[in-house]
């Protein structure tokens, strides 16, 4: 989320919960920390279950007021939705549940409860397909080894190498890419000077 939301009103979590989750609050007494974790787990469960009330019973009038609300930063709302879906997906993975089936049910309910209570089109959902293609990410150590070896051998880094290094690499890898980029820029400048001298003086 963007900005400082320390003054944000209570949602699923209160300000103390948020501080703890962010590592900004420590407990000297283990029992106190245990109780905080327990509270957070229960609030997470209750917050998710409350979506049933929101999706099935929120009136069209109240929904339109929500849509028309002037949010300070709508990106925070989209970030929250993305994080919620990510967490739901993690739950399905951890519990070996069918995420595509749950997603299909969600879309079906959007066109039933959403139509009955709000302005969703009254459509029959005939098919929902979810195609997820994943692959193991290289470890920071593997990324560093591959990139530093290429630099050492004088092999140019590809756009993919640079993208992976900046995204998955550690600080050493990122520094190596930055230095490599500077050297390439200097070498290109020298090449241009050589071409100019050769052209001028033959």
pTM of the predicted protein model: 0.68
* Segment among 35-44, 67-76, 185-194 with least mean pLDDT: 185-194
**Per-residue pLDDT tens over the stretch 62-94:** 999 999 988 777 888 899 999 999 999 999 999
Residue 144 near residue 137, CB atoms below 8 Å: no
Between residues 1 and 19, which one has the greater pLDDT? 19
Residue scoring higher pLDDT (170 or 98)? 98
Answer yes or no: are the C-beta atoms of 104 and 125 closer than 8 Å. Answer: yes
What are the structural domain ranges in the chain? 15-117, 140-201
The tokens describing 82, both together, are 């993305």
| Percent of residues, the chain, with pLDDT higher than 70 | 95
Using the predicted structure, report yes or no on whether residue 95 has a pLDDT greater than 70.
yes
Is 28 in a helix, a strand, or coil?
coil
Reading the block at residue 132, the tokens are 């997820």
Spatial separation of the C-alpha atoms in residues 125 and 26, rounded to whole Å: 48
């Amino acid at each position: 989320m963007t900005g400082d939301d320390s003054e944000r009103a209570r949602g699923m979590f209160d300000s103390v919960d948020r501080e703890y989750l962010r590592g900004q609050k420590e407990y000297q007494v283990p029992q106190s920390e245990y109780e905080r974790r327990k509270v957070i787990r229960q609030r997470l469960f209750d917050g998710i279950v409350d979506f049933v009330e929101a999706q099935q019973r929120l009136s069209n009038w109240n929904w339109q007021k929500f849509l028309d609300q002037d949010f300070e930063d709508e990106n925070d709302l989209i970030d929250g939705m993305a994080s919620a879906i990510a967490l739901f997906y993690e739950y399905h993975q951890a519990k070996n549940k069918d995420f595509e089936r749950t997603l299909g049910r969600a879309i079906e309910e959007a066109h039933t409860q959403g139509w009955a209570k709000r302005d969703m089109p009254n459509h029959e959902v005939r098919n929902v397909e979810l195609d997820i293609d994943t692959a193991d990410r290289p470890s920071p150590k593997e990324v560093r080894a591959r990139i530093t070896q290429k630099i050492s051998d004088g092999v140019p880094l590809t756009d993919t190498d640079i993208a992976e290094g900046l995204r998955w690499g550690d600080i050493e890898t990122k520094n190596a890419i930055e230095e490599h980029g500077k050297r390439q820029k200097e070498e290109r400048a020298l090449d241009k000077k050589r071409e100019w001298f050769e052209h001028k003086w033959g």
